[in-house]
Amino acid sequence: MPRYRLLIEYDGRPFHGFQAQADLPSVQGSLERAVKKFCGEDLRVGAAGRTDTGVHATGQVVHVDLTKDWPAETVRNALNFHLMPDPVSVLSAEVAVGDWHSRFSATGRRYLYRILNRMSPPALDQGRVWHVKKPLDAQAMHEAAQVLVGHHDFTTFRDLACQAKSPMKTLDVANVRREGDEVLLEFASRSFLHRQVRSMTGTLAEVGVGRWTKADVEAALAARDRKACGPVAPAEGLYLTGVSYG
């Protein structure tokens, strides 16, 4: 039974997250329906990670186990045909080697958060950026973000509904930069806690508008208390941009 490794992108706005849910639209559900239409198989699509309602992806990785040995390009093209009109696209497909698994073989995940920082609201990027009117100091945000880099107890930045066994995570990258009217935040880690990126982003935005300092972020991390977290950034600005496999 061949396993196919698929690189996909999707607009998260119409979906209640990646994970399939009864009677609710999901990315996983769309993919599984496309597989059913393509080859008649009922199966569960595996994924490198589950994104929340409204979160987007430009580099999500999933896998499907098919009974027939199809050419990888056929799988990609057929799924894209049957995914229409849902905003999900299979960018590439290849036959997986050995016991590769989209989730358990992953060694890193990367996220991007987009903040539109101007007075006027977005017209073309509605639902794809977080609109913040107050001027943000991206350099101050970047300096404060370095407090979060390393191996820490991230309880403060962990959603109360998080099912991870431990709040201990190693954040490898936390970069903040400005590009025109956008402030971009990039995070990389082997894995993340539930809503960790959005929690860190919302807290760093408090630094950006001058309500918090780098020391406040450090104190919030040390508190290991969800109540010490700043406001949680909305889902629409978040993108899963890549998954690494070592």
Write out the catalytic residue numbers: 52
Which two tokens mark 67? 């009974």
Residue 36 contacts residue 42 (beta carbons within 8 Å): yes
* Structure token digits, residue 52: 């929340």
Q: Choose among 27, 20, 6: nearest CA to 88.
A: 27
Q: Strand pairing partners for 106?
A: 245
Beta-bridged to residue 132, according to DSSP, are 117
Distance CA 244, CA 174 (A): 17
Distance from C-alpha of 153 to C-alpha of 170, rounded to nearest angstrom:
9
- Give SS3 for 58: strand
Q: Are 167 and 196 in contact (CB under 8 A)?
A: no
CA 197 to the chain's CA centroid = 8
| Rounded Cα–Cα distance for residues 138 and 204 (Å) | 9
Structure-token pair, residue 217: 């972020």
Cα separation of 120 and 100, whole Å? Answer: 46
